[in-house]
Amino acid sequence: MIFQIKHNNQRFFGRSFLKIFLVSLLILVFVLVFTVFDFSKTLVANLFSPFLKSGNYIYQTIGQIPSFFSDKIELIKKNDALLNEVENNSINLIEYEVVKNENKKLREDLKIKPIGKLISASVISKFPQIPMDSLFVDRGTVDGLIEGDSVLAGERILVGKIVKISKNSSIVALNSFVDVISYGVVSRTSESIEIKGVGGGNIEAKVPFDFDIVVGDKIIVGGSSDYLVAIVGVVEEDRSAGFKKVLMSLPVYISKINTVFILGVNTD
Partner 1 sequence: MYRILFFLALIFVPVTFGWWLFIPLALLAVYLIKLPYEIVLAGFLLDLFYYFGQGFWQGHTFTIFTLILIALALFLNQKIHWRKVI
Q: Distance between CA atoms of 120 and 85, rounded to whole angstroms?
A: 24
Which range touches partner 1 (CB under 8 A), out of 87-95, 114-122, 129-137, 215-223?
129-137
Site residues for partner 1, 162-181, by CB under 8 A, read 163-164, 171, 173, 177-179
Near partner 1 by CB under 8 A: residue from 118, 123, 130, 198: 130
40 binds partner 1 (CB under 8 A): yes
In degrees and rounded to multiples of 5, residue 160 shows phi and psi of: 180, -160
Q: Which is nearer to partner 1, 64 or 240 (CB)?
A: 64
Please state, in angstroms and as integers, the Cα–Cα distance from residue 192 to each residue in 160, 177, 189, 233, 236, following that order.
19, 21, 9, 18, 19
11: part of which helix (H) or strand (E)?
A: none
# chain residues binding partner 1, by CB under 8 A: 29
Near partner 1 by CB under 8 A: residue from 20, 75, 215, 234: 20
Q: Distance between CA atoms of 163 and 145, rounded to whole angstroms?
A: 11
User: Is 45 exposed, middle or buried, given 0-12, 13-18 or 19+ CB atoms closer than 10 A?
Assistant: buried
One-letter identity of residue 243: F
Site residues for partner 1, 187-206, by CB under 8 A, read none
Query: Could you list the residues that contact partner 1 (CB under 8 A)?
Result: 20, 23-24, 27, 30-31, 34, 40-41, 44-45, 48, 51-52, 54-55, 58, 128-131, 134, 163-164, 171, 173, 177-179
